[in-house]
Structure 1
Amino acid sequence: MADLPTPLVSTEWLAQHLDDPKLRIFDATVHLAPPTEAGGEWSQTSGRPDYLAAHIPGAAFADIIDDLSEPDGGWFTKPSPERFAAAAGRLGIGPDTAVVVYAANVFWATRLWWLLLANGFDNVAVLDGGLGKWTAEGRPTRSGAESYPQAEFVGTPRPALFAELDEVKQVVESGSGACLINSLSPEDHHATETVSYPRPGRIPGSRNVFVAALLNPADGTFRPVPELREIFKEVQAQSGRKVTYCGGGIAATGDALALRLIGETDVAVYDGSLWEWTNDPSLPLEVG
């Protein structure tokens, strides 16, 4: 298989390549719900039952909650390169394969896309519009479980695609070196109170690009590049690296994909995001 168009492929492209033996399609759905009261816990539920009920023909299920996160590392913490390589190999992702990812909420698909890039695998794309667009077009689905033959995952990790806490602290303290981008809603960005995190607010100096605003409401596809450039106009006016964050490093990968679409190359995701930042009372927050 030739390299696929990245970082997005259309439903039409996927339908035309569905029978390619080197193609690997994955449903990465997770259902996440915030706490309903202060101090409560976020609920996370695997999307496997949805996958078993209906998925794109040939697709396997990629388990982000367990297999593709670091156990006891926090909230969806990125796995070590060794853990990721082992999981990707079990899924059947080898050096001669191409990967297309989708999810009920596209930002779980962008999360797996970003994890693959960060571990040195480039022949991966997100299905634009996902299963919703696929089924709306009358395309076929299957039920039950499917899988691919195991493979040896090959990739050289790219740690620069993730920003660590120390880097973000340095940006906040110096006020330079990178543009911090909050992918959450304006309500979360300006929060003066919250039940979602230990403390309300945003990382100081960060700008807000709500990830949901990047999608066309009609079909869930990403907006055209000119519209994305307009949305990110203030961000692109800032020099240096672009570091996205959210609650736990999921929605932030949607902003990261859009930044790649508009030509930004030095982009990182702060994996710990607000979950890590707000749990440390010594770290500053802006509110209002």
Structure 2
Amino acid sequence: MNDIPLIVTTEWLAERLDDPKLRIIDATVFMKFPEGGGPPSVESGQTSYEAGHIPGAVYADLVGELSDADSELPFTVPARKEFVAKLTALGIGDDTYTVIYDQNALVGEPTAASYWASRLAWQMRYEGFEQVAILEGGLQKWQAEGRELSTEEAAYPHANYTGKRHTDMLASKEDVQKAIDDEQTILINSLAPEEFHSGHIPNSQNIFFGLHADEETKALYGDEQLRALFAETGALDPNKKVITYCGGGIAATWNALILNKLGQHNVAVYDGSMNEWTSDPACPLVKSEK
């Protein structure tokens, strides 16, 4: 099986819908921000999947099944055995390749970033699932182009899997603490500028995850434009390691994916991100002017 791109177009996927080795996953999660402020709420995208999805897609529940239910933090990676069992039950294994999409579902804050899809893709690659891509523009782009939707629940045969975990793709709080004073490591905060300025990890730089795709077409910008966003941070230096973080380890995976696309493969995601960092009084924060 040939390696598939990290990000595939709707045309690419449409041409392969009948491929028996293809597995399509809807990874939609809805995140809603209250009007009066405060932390967002999250809910499964299962209902929206049932209302209409790309033909052949199965639903993967990042909220209820593919995060560590015993963690004090939301959306931390689950135990490897548990995660692999869920994925193989969905039909994903050694002899398949996977395309993941979502609905760009940040309610109240429009974005073209498929960061729920990138979160699942990152978890899969972390556990050694190599043949995985996300769909450019997600379900919104697919629908805007008038492509077919289905309400039929899909299923694939149980798969076998023998891959190994890539431990270097995940950064711990201790890794980030060491990185603050390490000139060979670049820390990238993936949140909006106002969130970054209100408090961030020392020596981190801000690249907002929502800057990489066109809000109207949902298509990614070209590599030259994407490179320009990261160039001054030093994150494209192949001799440097990059750690991305955000609020809860979701948007950070989108920045990590874009960096991978641009050729920087020494990238880890701080899974606990600001949720964990700010809960520890010993972890320093820097506030800066806009």
> TM-score, normalised on structure 1?
0.92
* Mapped contact 1:179–1:243 kept (Cα < 8 A): yes
Determine if contact 1:181/1:206 at 8 Å carries over to the other structure.
yes
Question: 1:58 & 1:267 partners in 2: Cα distance?
Answer: 32
Equivalent of residue 151 in structure 2, options 143, 146, 159? 143
Contact 1:68-1:78 at 8 Å conserved across structures: yes
Q: Which amino acid aligns with 1:176?
A: E
Q: Secondary structure at the match of 2:233?
A: helix
Q: How many Å apart are 1:114 and its aligned residue? A: 0.6
SS at match of 2:23: strand
Identity of aligned residues (%): 44
Cα deviation code 1:97-127 (max 9, x no counterpart):
0100000121000011111111111111000
**Counterpart Cα distance in 2 of 1:5 and 1:93:** 15
Displacement, 1:143?
1.1
Q: Give the secondary-structure state (helix, strand or coil) at the position aligned to 1:168.
A: helix
Inter-partner Cα distance in structure 2 for 1:100 and 1:4: 12
Correspondence for 2:110: none
Amino acid at match of 1:250: I
CA positional deviation for 1:6: 1.5
Q: Equivalent residue for 2:203?
A: 205
Does the 8 Å CA contact 1:100/1:125 hold for their aligned counterparts? yes
Query: Residue 223 of structure 2: which of 225, 238, 243 is its match?
Result: 225
- Alignment gaps of 5+ in structure 2: 105-113
Distance 1:63 1:124 in 2: 17
Change (3 A) 1:37 1:89: same
Matched, 1:32 2:40: no
Give the SS at the match of 1:232. helix
The size of the alignment, in residue pairs, is 276
The offset of 1:16, in angstroms, is 0.5
The answer as to whether partners of 1:118 and 1:161 remain within 8 angstroms in 2 is yes
Q: Is the 8 A contact 1:24 1:93 kept in 2?
A: yes
State whether residues 88 and 153 of structure 1, in contact with CA within 8 Å, keep that contact through their aligned partners in structure 2.
no
Distance 1:55 1:4 in 2: 25
Cα distance between partner residues in 1 of 2:49 and 2:261: 28
Partner residue of 1:197?
Answer: none
Paired residue for 1:158, among 166, 185, 189?
166
Residue identity opposite 2:204 in structure 1: S
Deviation at 1:37, TM superposition (A): 6.0
RMSD: 1.5
Q: Paired residue for 1:195?
A: none
Correspondence 1:100 to 2:99: yes
Unaligned runs of 5+ in 1: 192-200
1: CA distance, partners of 2:162 / 2:57: 21
User: 2: distance between equivalents of 1:88 and 1:33?
Assistant: 27
In structure 2, what is the Cα distance between the partners aligned to 1:67 and 1:152?
A: 19
SS in 1 for 2:15: helix
One-letter amino acid matched to 1:216:
D
In structure 1, what is the Cα distance between the partners aligned to 2:189 and 2:34?
Answer: 20
Q: Which residue of 2 aligns with 1:170?
A: 178
